[in-house]
Structure 1
Amino acid sequence: MTSFLDPLIAFVSAHAWLAYLTLFLAALLEAVPVIGSLVPGSTIILALSALVPGGELKLWPVLAAAVAGAVLGDGTAFLIGYRSKREILATWPLSNYPSVVQRSEEFFHRWGVLAVFFARFVAPIRAFVPITAGALDMQPSRFYAVNIPAILLWAPAHVLPGVLAVTALHDYAGLPHHGHVGKHIWMLAIVGGALVVAFAVWAFRRRHGGGVIETVKSTK
């Protein structure tokens, strides 16, 4: 893997636009069933994010490329499943991975709409849950309401470790780096924390709210 990534990083660091395109494609392909299990999308994103402290790449375009690729990949997979229904799960190439498809279905049935959120952070199910959600007739509005916040957290979770690690290395070695990175990281941490809290409240109300309502109705 290192022999593949080293020349890739060296090349794209000299061509910023290609680096952003690579990030976009890595995030997109990681969301494609089967292909997402083979393409080291997360590794590529983490590796390229290490170019941010040195100024070869900018933090916000890196995040935007990763988010855009993931949204397009997940959304396309979901719509294919939504239009094809369960038949797509028994069609090639998914038919070659019955155990993963079964795990994705079980994961979806166990967690319901929350499976779309959790799957963003779990490989290789991440590449199968969107199409499974569509095949099981999940409504598009519900899918995107959970999928997009998950991606907005997933992207920084993959980008920031590389940025922080290289920034710390630069500080330790006395090498220059762009000071604005720290300010942006704090901003992302605050926004990410707010998203986590908001989603946790929403998930709690969704899971327990119905029971509370029924209890109130029964007492009237």
Structure 2
Amino acid sequence: MNIADWLYQLTPSPALLLLIIAVIALLECLAVVGLIMPGVLLMTAAASLAGHQDLAIPLVLLAAFLGALGGDGLSFALGYTQRERVPRLWPFHRHPEWLARGARFFQRYGTLSVIFARFVGPVRPVIPMIAGMLHMSPFAFLWASLLSALLWAPAYVLPGYLLGRTWQQLLDIPPGTQQWLLALAAVIVALALGFSWLRHQLARGGRVYFACARLARGAAWRRRLWMRLRARRPHGEFPLGSLCLLVVSLTALCIWTLIVLDHQGPMLMDTQIQGMAAALDTAWVATASELMARAGDTYGVLALFLPWGLWLLWARHLSAFLHLSAGLGGIAVANTLFKQLAGRERPDFPEYLAGSLAYPSAHASTAVVLYGLAAAFIAQELPSRHRVWAYWAAIVLAVPMALSRLTLGVHWASDLIGGALLGLVVCALVRISYHRFAHRSLTPAPWPSLAAASLVLLAMRLAWLPPT
């Protein structure tokens, strides 16, 4: 039995699934936990399973409602009974701005803040605790919490539930591919949870970062390594996140490449996922995939990068320009070397790809490098609480670019995985190198003008130049 078969058999029973939905809703509304948990993603996944199992929608809504109500009640009780201790508890003693933001929101909207905050992610799990700390009337809090939970449960549950009821009919999934969808969903949930946790722990002020800094002081050679990799500016930060990304992605790339080489052709996973992609072969999907393929080729990448590169040179951000250029150039060289090493044939050979090899996907790896590095440079100019959105934007742009290679039939799924891992390795190397330089802030910058210029050049490329 392979991993996908094992995951497929783990589909929960109806009673357990209702309990899972209630727990997700409770944790999403619970103080502290809701700040770091990707509750929307988890609720959508659980509600989708409920829809696929055709569970009664009133029961699903009731489970989400009760969970949300329980999370609010526990948070309110914590604030009401531990008013003096809360600011000294983790993580609020490290991030007092979270409490300050919630207090300002509560003072602005009063009782209605309990209702409004339910739909505002950054303050949702904090406002009930703030209400308790400010000794809001329990009766007033109860009716506000009841009303907000009644509105919140359908808004968060129904989209996923409807998706679960209709996805198989809409896509006409071929037999044998359901387990891969479940495996993909499990991987996405695991990565989302891991990313949300590591984003806080590996940044300066996180527990993992603090533990590693303390460990580095224990020996002279570790202290020298730590100081050598720290940014060359006052209060410089050690690139722990980039270093962890390098170790994990490089290890995974080596293991995955050995698996691909050992198979001497497509894996079972590749053929089944290719069949699922064939089920999406509609006119609009084919057109969108072709446009994304052109946007991700050499001309498309140059069109997107050129305005930003020229501005970096004009503004004398030479270090940023050289590192971005090295990342894009390095991934092009790495793709060529890996393709020659693997020697893997493509599933299909369009005329413009004649003689080109499959593993790894150059479109996937280049998209990861281009959008990943752009997100990293933008995120460093943002407040810490907003940086995650830059990375999620990069994921939203890179994933469809990679999946378009499947729907076009020019890559196997394992090619995309190898390309993504190779792109992450290059991103980590570039960020570690860039971190060691003392550099000026990239702001102020004409972000809208640069984005508009990139889109204009990309539109010209799509309209006039052939695919490469």
TM-score by length of 2: 0.34
Distance 1:11 1:124 in 2: 35
Q: 1:105 aligns with which of 84, 98, 103?
A: 103
Q: Does the C-alpha gap of structure 1 residues 100 and 91 become closer, same or farther in structure 2, counting only changes over 3 Å?
A: same
Task: Name the SS of the counterpart of 2:124 in structure 1.
Answer: helix
Structure 2 matches for 1:110-189, cutoff 5 A?
A: 110-173=108-171
Q: Does the C-alpha gap of structure 1 residues 9 and 143 become closer, same or farther in structure 2, counting only changes over 3 Å?
A: farther
Greater relative CO (CA pairs within 8 A, separation 6+): 1
Compute the displacement of 1:174 (Å). Answer: 6.5
Compute the displacement of 1:60 (Å). Answer: 2.0
Match of 2:11 in 1: 13
Greater radius of gyration (CA): 2
Match of 2:88 in 1: 91
Q: Does the C-alpha gap of structure 1 residues 112 and 51 become closer, same or farther in structure 2, counting only changes over 3 Å?
A: same
Compute the displacement of 1:10 (Å). Answer: 4.4
Amino acid at match of 2:25: A
Amino acid at match of 2:118: R
Distance 2:9 2:127 in 1: 33
Compute the displacement of 1:55 (Å). Answer: 2.7
Amino acid at match of 1:72: G
Distance 2:103 2:153 in 1: 25
Match of 2:267 in 1: none
Q: Does the C-alpha gap of structure 1 residues 104 and 61 become closer, same or farther in structure 2, counting only changes over 3 Å?
A: same
Given that 1:51 and 1:163 are in contact with CA atoms closer than 8 Å, whether structure 2 keeps it comes out as yes
Given that 2:40 and 2:156 are in contact with CA atoms closer than 8 Å, whether structure 1 keeps it comes out as yes
Q: How many residues align?
A: 169
Task: Name the SS of the counterpart of 1:36 in structure 2.
Answer: helix
Distance 1:147 1:49 in 2: 22
Match of 2:23 in 1: 25
Compute the displacement of 1:144 (Å). Answer: 0.9
Amino acid at match of 2:89: W
Q: Does the C-alpha gap of structure 1 residues 64 and 11 become closer, same or farther in structure 2, counting only changes over 3 Å?
A: farther
Task: Name the SS of the counterpart of 2:30 in structure 1.
Answer: coil
Given that 1:70 and 1:151 are in contact with CA atoms closer than 8 Å, whether structure 2 keeps it comes out as yes
From the two aligned structures, give the one with the greater helix fraction.
1
Task: Name the SS of the counterpart of 2:121 in structure 1.
Answer: coil
Match of 1:185 in 2: none
Amino acid at match of 2:13: H
Q: Gaps spanning 5+ residues in structure 1: where? A: 1-5, 176-220
Q: Does the C-alpha gap of structure 1 residues 166 and 55 become closer, same or farther in structure 2, counting only changes over 3 Å?
A: closer
Residues 154-211 of structure 1: per-residue CA shift (max 9 Å, x gap): 0110111112334444553469xxxxxxxxxxxxxxxxxxxxxxxxxxxxxxxxxxxx
Match of 1:39 in 2: 37
Q: Does the C-alpha gap of structure 1 residues 42 and 16 become closer, same or farther in structure 2, counting only changes over 3 Å?
A: same
Question: Which is further off, 146-155 or 87-96?
Answer: 87-96
Q: Gaps spanning 5+ residues in structure 2: where? A: 174-468
Given that 1:78 and 1:132 are in contact with CA atoms closer than 8 Å, whether structure 2 keeps it comes out as yes
Question: Which is further off, 29-38 or 150-159?
Answer: 29-38
Given that 1:105 and 1:129 are in contact with CA atoms closer than 8 Å, whether structure 2 keeps it comes out as yes
Q: Give runs of ≥4 in structure 1 deviating > 4 Å.
A: 6-12
